[in-house]
Amino acid sequence: EAGVAQSPRYKIIEKRQSVAFWCNPISGHATLYWYQQILGQGPKLLIQFQNNGVVDDSQLPKDRFSAERLKGVDSTLKIQPAKLEDSAVYLCASRRTPRTERLISPFMNTEAFFGQGTRLTVV
């Protein structure tokens, strides 16, 4: 099966500019994640979608970051305006989950599949 697709692979922008990243998850995967991975650190969850609804955006800096998944398939993550500290790799991941995910479900235990990421450099 095709993997998680992300674009662009690399992006360099000046601070205060805006930027957008795109992600197409694996077909049929209802759950989609955006992670930020700063050099030397593990991935940090920014936002989680279940179909086209937001499940968790508690760590998303909402004053500058936004994300959408309008049709419940592909997703975009936007930063406006960018800051120097936003320099990182932005990873998109998807996971197979049933349409009606219950609290106790074997699908809770499925692994996530990651895209190659977008490396953002803010100068």
Contact residues for another protein, defined by CB under 8 A:
4, 6, 35, 40-45, 55-56, 58, 91, 93, 103, 108-109, 111-117, 119
Please check whether residue 95 is in contact with residue 101, taking contact to mean a CB–CB distance below 8 angstroms: no
Please check whether residue 80 is in contact with residue 87, taking contact to mean a CB–CB distance below 8 angstroms: no
Task: Name the minimum Å distance from CB 112 to another protein.
Answer: 7
CA angle 87-91-95, nearest 5°?
Answer: 160
Residue with Cβ nearer another protein (78 or 119): 119
Task: Name the minimum Å distance from CB 100 to another protein.
Answer: 14
Rounded CA-CA distance 29/51 in Å is 8
Residue with Cβ nearer another protein (42 or 70): 42
Residue with Cβ nearer another protein (12 or 14): 12
What tokens were used for 25?
Answer: 């998850």
Task: Name the minimum Å distance from CB 93 to another protein.
Answer: 8
In this structure, what DSSP letter does residue 112 have? P
